[in-house]
């Protein structure tokens, strides 16, 4: 999808929700400055776009941010509880299930955790 289409979609969704850039930023876990940049031509990261799509779907406005051939993220996820003794848990499967949930907060947390772990294992502790 082109950047211009995403710009228009972000603004259309925000206006349909009747919220300011500050409130919209809070809803998707971004700053109001980021929202301003998204609406005026800044590239939107994949994580931010997933958060925007999830919010639109949650509020029944997915058509504003859906484009032909593009997957729309849905929030229909209920993970299985993790047992206290997680020694037998398949972490790859668990992380995959969490990422597939499309929950922007969960996805962002996992992305940050993986970045931290990558830096930590390379010896450049953040």
pLDDT digits (tens, 9 = 90+) for 53-107: 888 888 888 888 876 555 544 444 454 555 555 566 666 777 777 777 777 777 7
pLDDT at 75 (0 to 100): 46
pLDDT tens string 104-120: 777 777 777 777 777 76
Local structure of 89: helix, strand or coil? coil
Q: What does DSSP assign to residue 68?
A: T
pLDDT at 37 (0 to 100): 92
- Distance between CA atoms of 120 and 126, rounded to whole angstroms? 7
Annotation: CATH topology of 3-64: 434 Repressor (Amino-terminal Domain) (1.10.260)
Please answer whether residues 72 and 93 qualify as being in contact, where contact means their C-beta atoms are separated by less than 8 angstroms: no
pLDDT at 35 (0 to 100): 93
pLDDT at 77 (0 to 100): 45
pLDDT at 81 (0 to 100): 55
User: How far from chain centre, in Å, is Cα 105?
Assistant: 6
Q: Where are the domains of the chain?
A: 3-64, 86-121
pLDDT at 109 (0 to 100): 74
User: How far from chain centre, in Å, is Cα 19?
Assistant: 19
Please answer whether residues 77 and 50 qualify as being in contact, where contact means their C-beta atoms are separated by less than 8 angstroms: no
Question: pLDDT: is 29 or 85 the higher one?
Answer: 29
Please answer whether residues 75 and 103 qualify as being in contact, where contact means their C-beta atoms are separated by less than 8 angstroms: yes
């Amino acid at each position: 999808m082109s950047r211009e289409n995403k710009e228009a979609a972000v603004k259309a969704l925000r206006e349909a929700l009747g919220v300011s850039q500050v409130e919209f930023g809070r809803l998707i876990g971004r700053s109001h400055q980021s929202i301003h940049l998204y609406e005026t031509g800044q590239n939107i990261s994949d994580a931010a776009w997933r958060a925007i799509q999830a919010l639109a779907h949650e509020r029944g406005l997915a058509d504003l941010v859906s484009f032909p051939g593009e997957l729309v993220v849905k929030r229909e996820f209920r993970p299985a509880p993790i047992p206290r003794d997680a020694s037998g848990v398949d972490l790859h499967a668990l992380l995959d299930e969490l990422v597939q949930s499309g929950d922007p907060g969960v996805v962002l947390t996992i992305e940050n955790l993986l970045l931290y772990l990558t830096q930590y294992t390379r010896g450049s502790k953040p």
